[in-house]
Structure 1
Amino acid sequence: MNGKVFKAFKSLMQALFIIITIIVASELVGLHHPWASLTNAWISGPVGTRWLCQVGHAKEKAPLVIEDYRSTNELFVKLFDYFWNPAQELWSLPYGFKGSELLLAKVLAQAVDHRLPDDIQKLSCRTCVVVGNGNTLRNSSLGKLINQHDIVIRLNDAPVKGYEQDVGNKTTMRLFYPESAFFDPEEEDPDTLLVLIPFKPDDLRWLKELLYNDKRIMKGFWKIPPLLWNVDPTKLRILHPYFLNETTVKLLKITPVPLAHQLKLKNKEKPTHPTTGLIAITMALHYCDMVYVAGFGYPGLNDTQVPIHYYETRTIKSMEDSEHNITREGDILKQLADIGAINYLKNIS
């Protein structure tokens, strides 16, 4: 190598070092550079208290599995969607709000906000982790890694208190439905958004009764939901049914059947519904730049002694009459992981 070539090579290496140093420093102070993905070939995982983010990664990968995919910043229902846009009125719950407009209006009159926090919205690149409830989280020591993501999504009534080392203690949003609302809102991070997935009109009615302190009507639930619920209405959101449609039709490949039609079916075969976890992953793939998952997967059908959740002792036997196709969902998660649309969070220490 002659002197001129060596000098040019040295200058190039110095320039690359400076670029990488700037990117890493920006991550340490909480900034996402649009060109930060240049370093992903050399650096993966957390830097300081943040997680490196590759802009548009999910947007690039998700269309390989989700037909007619489109990213969106609109996750939650707002009144405008259903009272000034007739095209949204074609479906009843759980795929739309046809026939439930009055209930929806009353709920949104109390829980009027449909936005995400400004500090999340302004990020140029968002990393998300969907924390499942699986037993694989037990003794995983993933808590610190989970906390380092911009958005931490939790499911149903899975507890945080007492399990922080394995599941972290940061919660950006918690997706739930009435029968799974047995978590204490006062134990949540005060900034946590509580996101209702309404599967049936009774779910909206339940929330309306709590918000207005109306007489509780307990009919219509497979499990009696909480009768008292001390929740800040400004932290309530209603998940847009678009994501249930995307999960059901494009991932599970199921023709959607509204609840009213399900009740009229002559055969007694239970319909198949996506799990809260798969709905959450679908939502994350439409909003986040990078999607990680932890705590997903069920024990084998013959592993009857292994708990299905990290916080309780129920086993796979309890899923025998489930309306979820956990085998199909497992295949979908593998497919998403194989193409890099989602990444399983692992503790490499």
Structure 2
Amino acid sequence: MSQKTAKTWSLRLLPFLLSFISFVMYYCSYSILQSYGGTSKSPNSSKALCGGWLTQKKWESLNFNSSRQTQLFLRLKDFFWQEHLSKLPLPYGVKGSEFLLLKVLAITANYQMPANLENLECRTCVVIGNGFVIKNSSLGDIINKYDVVIRLNDAPVKGYEEDVGNKTTMRFFYPESASYNPGLQNEPDTLMVLVPFKMHDLRWLKEILYNEKRVRKGFWKPPPQIWLGDVSKIRVLDPHFLHQTADKLLHLLPPKGKQTPVHPTTGLLSIFVALNYCDVVHVAGFGYPSAKNHRQPIHYYGRETMKSMKNSYHDLNHEAKALKRLEESGAILYLHPHL
């Protein structure tokens, strides 16, 4: 066989090889999950799926055409003594928000994940959505055993521990979804990760940190005027991740014409962040009822239904398809049955 022919066959076989690798990883991950489901065994068994080569191949199979980024948060040195070269404004860049970021990052002064997580050779992560589907799942004990547990917005933990656990490594939020006292539903070492969708979000945090007069305009829902978060636990998520979620995962960029802007949900964003930072990514609590179902609650807490999503800036059907692609590729694994 000539060298040219061999190269041609290699290129033809490459997609099948990547598909086979994804299938094996998904099957092994599913088998491991089943082995400890409902028992006291640890999801650390999933570390058998870890390794730089496997993680990199899994990432490459997603065809994002970009490198994984494990530095999650904005740092003061990204702005101090140098001009930040972002070409986009929030939510996909920081253009026009540099001064606010300088003020915020100078006070928070912490830009890393905890050292015990940074030093792990393999990080197992679970992203907990707020969907009704996790109710009565009894997944709490399993969730608590992951290295990293990511939660969203103001979703409560107390009173729901049996289903959602009580460990929280990071909580992604924005001002309108903030709880005035994060200590009530989080652990003392939980990182509170601000997702800045607009300049007003950074201004809100600056006013909190510097105890300045609060400006109430610019929010679709009044954010807390008093916020008791631990300054040392505050982080600001790099807008790179929201941009990549919108661009690579949802293909929303650039926006078409003058249509109403559509942005990723905090949940899908968190999954994309986990794919960058973690070696094993599992999810729970994702999924919405049918838009025609006006009675079933959309969250495992509260009574809100799909009516509350009527004027949302999110395309839930589009996101559901993206999640399905991630699941089929073996990039994520659900901890419970789902549609």
Please tell me the TM-score bracket, short chain as reference: 0.7 to 0.9
For the 8 Å contact 2:30–2:333, the answer to whether it is kept is: no
Aligned residue number for residue 164 of structure 1: 161
Structure-1 residue corresponding to 2:288: 298
Give structure 1 stretches of 5+ with no counterpart.
1-36
| Secondary structure of 2:86 counterpart | helix
**Which amino acid is 1:293 matched to?**
V
Larger deviation, residues 153-162 vs 47-56: 47-56
* Match runs of 1:190-209 below 5 Å: 190-209=188-207
Name the CA distance, whole Å, in 1 between partners of 2:231 and 2:68. Answer: 27
Q: Give TM-score scaled by structure 1 length.
A: 0.81
User: Is residue 264 of structure 2 the alignment partner of residue 274 of structure 1?
Assistant: yes
C-alpha distance in structure 2 between counterparts of 1:217 and 1:255, whole Å: 31
Deviations 1:188-226 (A, max 9, x none): 100100000001111000000001110000110000100
Match of 1:90, SS state, is coil
Distance 1:186 1:335, change over 3 A: same
What is the CA–CA distance in structure 1 between the aligned matches of 2:218 and 2:63, rounded to whole Å? 33
- Could you list the runs of 5+ residues in structure 2 that have no partner in the other structure? 1-24
Q: Which amino acid aligns with 2:196?
A: P
SS in 2 for 1:51: helix
Query: Equivalents in 2 of 1:291, 1:75: separation in Å?
Result: 16
Does structure 2 conserve the Cα–Cα contact (< 8 Å) formed by 1:128 and 1:292?
yes
Query: Deviations along 1:120-170, whole A, 9 cap, x unmatched?
Result: 011000000000000001111010111110000000010001100000000
> Partners of 1:301 and 1:41 in 2: how far apart?
32
| 3-state SS of 1:130 partner | strand
Aligned 8 A contact 1:206 1:216 in 2: yes
Residue 180 (structure 2) pairs with residue 175 (structure 1): no
Of 232, 239, 244 in structure 2, the residue corresponding to residue 241 of structure 1 is: 239
d(CA) in 1 for partners of 2:183 and 2:282?
A: 27
Q: Give the letter aligned to residue 325 of structure 1.
A: D
Q: CA deviation at 1:41?
A: 8.2
State the TM-score, normalizing by the size of structure 2.
0.84
> Which residue of 215, 218, 221 corresponds with 2:216?
218
Residues 66 and 274 of structure 1: is their aligned pair in 2 closer, same or farther, counting only changes over 3 Å?
A: farther
CA contact (8 A) 2:42 2:142 kept: no
1:150 aligns with 2:147: yes
Quick one: distance in 1 between partners of 2:122 and 2:325?
A: 24
Structure 2 counterpart of 1:130, which letter?
Answer: V
For residue 160 of structure 1, give the secondary structure of its aligned residue in structure 2.
Answer: coil
Residue in structure 2 matched with residue 345 of structure 1 by the alignment: 335
Structure whose alpha-carbon radius of gyration is higher: 1
> Does residue 115 of structure 1 match 2:112?
yes
The one-letter code of the counterpart of 1:51 is N
Secondary structure of 1:115's match?
coil
The residue identity in structure 2 corresponding to 1:343 is: L
Task: Return the offset for 1:317.
Answer: 1.7
1:332 aligned onto 2:326:
no
SS across alignment from 1:194: strand
Q: Tell whether 2:278 aligns with 1:314.
A: no
Contact 1:66–1:251 (CA under 8 A) maintained in structure 2: no
- CA positional deviation for 1:78: 0.3
Report sequence identity in percent: 50
Deviation at 1:254, TM superposition (A): 1.3
Query: Equivalent residue for 2:187?
Result: 189
Single out whichever of 70-79 and 141-150 deviates more from structure 2: 70-79
**Deviation sequence 1:277-313 (CA, Å, 0-9, x none):** 0000000001100100000000012221111000011
Closer, same or farther: CA 288–145 of 1 in aligned 2, 3 Å? same
| CA separation of 1:219 and 1:288: change in aligned 2, threshold 3 A | same
Inter-partner Cα distance in structure 2 for 1:345 and 1:50: 11
Structure 2: distance between partners of 1:152 and 1:66 = 26
Instruction: Note the alpha carbon deviations across 1:51-74, whole angstroms, 9 max, x for none.
Output: 222224443223333421322220
Counterpart for residue 44 of structure 2:
51
Counterpart-to-counterpart distance in 1, 2:320 and 2:30? 31
Residue 221 of structure 1 aligns to which amino acid in structure 2? F
> Do the aligned residues in 2 keep the contact of 1:172 with 1:191 (CA within 8 Å)?
yes
Contact residue 29 and residue 333 of structure 2 kept, 8 A: no
Distance apart, 1:86 and its partner CA: 4.3
Distance 1:75 1:42, change over 3 A: closer
